[in-house]
Chain A
Amino acid sequence: MRGCRRVVVRNRPGGWSGASALAVLAALACTPEQPTGDISGVELLTPEKGWSLHLPPFEVPPGTEVQDCYFFTMPDLNGGEDYFINRFKLGQRTGSHHLNVFRVKTIVHLDGEDGEVVRGGECRQSPNWADWPLVVNSQESSVDSPIVDWQLPPGVGQRFSPGEKIMVQSHYVNADLQVTPGAGEVRINFYLSQDAQAIEMGTLFATQQSIRVCRSNPNPTFEGTCSFPGSAEIHLAAMNGHFHSRGSTLKIYDWDGVTDQTPSADHQCYESASWDEPPMTLDLDVRVPAGGGVWWSCEYQWQAPAAGCADVDARDPQQAGDCCYTFGNSAEYSEHCNVFVYYWPKVDSDVFCN
């Protein structure tokens, strides 16, 4: 392919991709011919400052979606002891659909050693990471704003152990609805907190998978709730939502956990009308009473697929022949209704709602 070069990146202590020493990642990278986001602002960190992770340039051929899962182990940044990360910087060259970082828990059919990557396949099957807590995510990769720089609230951090395994899932799209003008590439910085005992941040991940957006019923709305356990007040610090191109509005509210009614407008914390570059709301300090949680709604507007309904119908488990978009990984042919919430103090359990 014209303009392509082979890039081989080795993980090395203190360098890009952090402290894991042996893994080798190889990819083809194409010289971009159109504007693509500049992520050089995600600088290389020394171990004293934190850890830098790099997914080197990879090709996203026209008409394809690339979803790969990269496995890493967290480096030792604190003499063998746990440490806190209190700032994240995530950079993605243009064309990213999502970037999720998870802590690896129950292994089903997806796993890898430090530095290994699983391309497609099991990396597209969400039951494989059903109980893997979210660390951080970003859906921003526009030419003008390809970097999310998030300083956590004062005194708050995410706790990690040396050697703890994480998975970085990158999804790029280069098709009708979303375009990757150059190569895909991701850089992530984890900044080491100087607080010996920070307040621990937790994450909540919720997904509604039994959804349908059909030609005959083109404006459906799906609602869900998810509550925090425990008897303490919770602070919501950041959040974002995720759907595909039929999504028209995604709203998230703080919720008292007992009322069966959409919370009032003054409890709305988040709204997205942008499926390909949804905002991430940072710097919140919304207090949720004990037993409360979040309430969300995903509204859709059915659209005719550019290439006809055959590929959409083929993915419909009901085989209704009604051009129904159902839950699935493909941004072109499927839909999502996902909610990501960052909160503190962390409860003694991961919080998922399916």
Chain B
Amino acid sequence: MTALVVCGCEPLEPEPDAGPADCFVGDPGQPPELQLVYRTAQGEMADLVDGGEVPLIIPPQGGHVVIIGARLRNVNVCGLQMSALLRDTCTNRILGREGRPIYVEKSADGWAVPIAPERLDNYVNINACPNLVSSRDVDQQPYQLELRAVNLNVDLLLTAQLEVTAVCGEPDTARQCECQCDADYVLGRDDCFTVDAGAELWRPDPDVPPGTCPDVVDVGPDTEP
């Protein structure tokens, strides 16, 4: 079952100035709706549910990102700006945040969906790993995902918030991903990529049980004395 996640919509009434007719997707008489989606490692769009998993993907710029977007209905979609972030609820710190224009088009089911959903451009690319400010591993741990969709042309703000667990989503690079998403990872450490006499140097180290916080929150490498 698909969960519809709309945690905040302003205004809840349809805008009086909805813009050009082809900009409005849905029924102007109905409240705006937003459903979070993500891009799979295989390049497909999938619905994201509260408590669900989202894959970590290697983008062209390197590192590992989660690719978050939205399906929308009953809204003006011309001029959408979307931002999303991952928050560590143990520290309240934001691991990564990105904002960008999002271009969507009406699909057969009546919802507006990202144009070219197989690509990265019409999703928010949240940089997740390596991460220096997380108190826990980034993968296999729950984090708070927060999304804002804004259309300043019509004074529209939609927000959504749910819990997600990022997982290393590409089998060929899973070990590298797990290593670089480790809470103890230090940039430049090369044992994520190194094999010594047939044995991988990096070994997963224990993390706190998912859903719990470290007793002492130690966030990344510290400054030098």
**A contact residues vs B (CB 8 Å cutoff):** 105-106, 126-127, 130-131, 133, 200, 207-212, 217, 220-225, 227-232, 234, 257-258, 260, 291, 297, 317-318, 320, 327, 345-354
Contacts and interface: CB of A to CB of B under 8 A. Distances in A.
A227 B93 contact: yes
B135 to A, nearest CB: 11
B62 A260 contact: no
Interface stretch (B17-25, B94-102, B167-175, B199-207): B94-102
B40 interface: no
A229 B99 contact: no
Interface string B77-108: 00001010101000111101111110100000
Contacts, number: 140
Interface residues of B, number: 43
Contacts of B125: 208, 210
Contacts of A106: 188, 190, 193
Interface of B: 59-63, 65, 81, 83, 85, 87, 91-94, 96-101, 103, 116, 119-121, 125, 127, 130, 132-133, 146, 148, 186-188, 190, 193, 219-224
Contact of B94 (A200, A225, A349): A225
Contact of A208 (B91, B98, B146, B224): B98
B98 to A, nearest CB: 6
Contact of A230 (B61, B63, B222): B222
Nearest to B100: A222
B127 A353 contact: yes
B61 A348 contact: no
A317 to B, nearest CB: 7
A354 B59 contact: yes
Given A131-B187, A228-B132, A229-B132, A348 B221 contact: yes
A19 to B, nearest CB: 25
A345 B188 CA distance: 19
5 contacts: A229-B219, A232-B223, A347-B223, A352-B130, A354-B65
Nearest to B129: A354
A347 B133 contact: no
A130 B62 contact: yes
Which 9 pairs of residues, A with B, have the shortest CB-CB distance?
A229-B220, A223-B99, A229-B132, A348-B221, A209-B61, A232-B223, A354-B61, A230-B222, A349-B221
Nearest to B101: A220
B188 to A, nearest CB: 5
A354 B188 contact: no
B60 A210 contact: yes
B222 A318 contact: no
Given A348-B223, A349-B220, 17 more contacts: A200-B224, A209-B60, A210-B61, A212-B121, A221-B99, A225-B85, A229-B219, A230-B220, A231-B222, A291-B93, A318-B116, A345-B223, A347-B220, A348-B186, A348-B221, A349-B187, A354-B59
